[in-house]
Amino acid sequence: MTVTALPSAASARPALVGLVRPGVCARTLRGLASTLAVLAMLGAWGMVLFPVDLARADDAPGWTELDTGLQLGVFTAPDAPDGPERIVAVRIDPAYYEFSLHTTSEEGEPALSLAEWGRRHDLNAVINASMYLPDARTSTGYLRNGEHLNNPRIGGNLGAFFVFGPQSPDLPQADLPQADLLDRTADPWEALLPQYRSVVQNYRLIGANRRILWPQGGPLYSVAAVGQDASGAILFLHCREPITAWRFATILLALPIDIRDVMYVEGGPQAGLYLRTPLRTDVWMGRHPADFWSGGNAAAPLPNVLGARRKATPPQPGLFPDDRERPTPQF
């Protein structure tokens, strides 16, 4: 999503009512055949006529372990368990997984879909890094990966930083979390940003003391976000059902996931989350609020993404360790 031209909702489809007069029967059938052909083409092009993230029979509430240090959770809203609002959460232990930032500006390649980014860099989870400017490559907030600056400007109204890859020359790396969410109003961010290899700045959604920092009301969008729980695990979060940011935050705080800080990264049809493991590969994409037919475009090109990849030699123990032997991933 760019910040100057938000995706507009598709117009509602008219309902078919009444009887067809004999004189127009042939034209109606030809029109119906053409419509079905177009819809089939959209599906083939990745427009996903039927949503890519429909509920699966094995989506039991709560956490499902996919690998040591990697869990998938699918949750309904506690106050509306039969409603359409479903939160998908990928919980990542930084002791077992390393994070990475991938941008078209650094790699000099065209934007890729979430799945394409995942395959190119052998990532197990991928999510939007941030919204971007009309040039379709520059992040709306500060974005740095090593020496590469996608956007060197600190956004004045963006209050959250996701940092990872401690590289402090002044402090032992063991004293810094492998990944962290910083609240601009509560953390010494100016001193901490230089201590990390990669930094992504976005809007705060939930800040210090589990306080919602987004006003009530506002537009309805699908939401992608990055969060952190009380243990220090990082969560990639997604809700396909269009929802206000405030409602999204209230659901997160009510879930049994002990969420502490949350950073909004994208809204609308391009808000997505991709999972790629030996046990499950899936993609969840957003949709337009008024577009009944579209489940989001899984092939949508995104210029900047965050990824998580299992470490080659993870240390012991992690935040939620497990002693079972795991098969070598085969993708």
Q: What percent of the chain has pLDDT over 90?
A: 69
User: Within a domain: residue 321?
Assistant: no
Q: Average the pLDDT over 82-107 and give the result.
A: 96
User: Within a domain: residue 329?
Assistant: no
Residue 313 has pLDDT above 90, yes or no: no
User: Within a domain: residue 81?
Assistant: yes
Closest CA to 278 of 68, 52, 56: 68
**Which H helix or E strand runs over 143?**
strand 143-145
**Given pLDDT bands bounded at 50, 70 and 90, which one contains residue 186?**
very high
Q: What is the per-residue pLDDT for 198?
A: 98
Q: What is the per-residue pLDDT for 126?
A: 98
The dihedral through the CA atoms of 256, 87, 96, 195 has a sign that is: negative
Q: What is the per-residue pLDDT for 175?
A: 81
Q: Average the pLDDT over 148-162 and give the result.
A: 96
Residues 6+ apart with CB under 8 A from 97: 69, 70, 124, 125, 308, 309, 310, 311, 314
**Given pLDDT bands bounded at 50, 70 and 90, which one contains residue 28?**
very low
Strands 259-267 and 272-276: unpaired
User: Within a domain: residue 158?
Assistant: yes
The distance from CA 14 to its chain's CA centroid, rounded to whole angstroms, is 32
Number of independent structural domains in the chain: 1
Look up the domain containing 72 and give its range: 24-310
Full DSSP string of 85-140: -EEEEEEE-TTTEEEEEEEHHHH-S--B-HHHHHHHTT-SEEEE---B-TTSSSBS
Dihedral Cα 242, 55, 132, 39, nearest 10 deg: -90
Residues 6+ apart with CB under 8 A from 281: 275, 331
Residue 144 has pLDDT above 90, yes or no: yes
Among the listed ranges 71-75, 99-103, 183-187, 291-295, which one has the minimum average pLDDT value? 291-295
User: Within a domain: residue 323?
Assistant: no
User: Within a domain: residue 216?
Assistant: yes
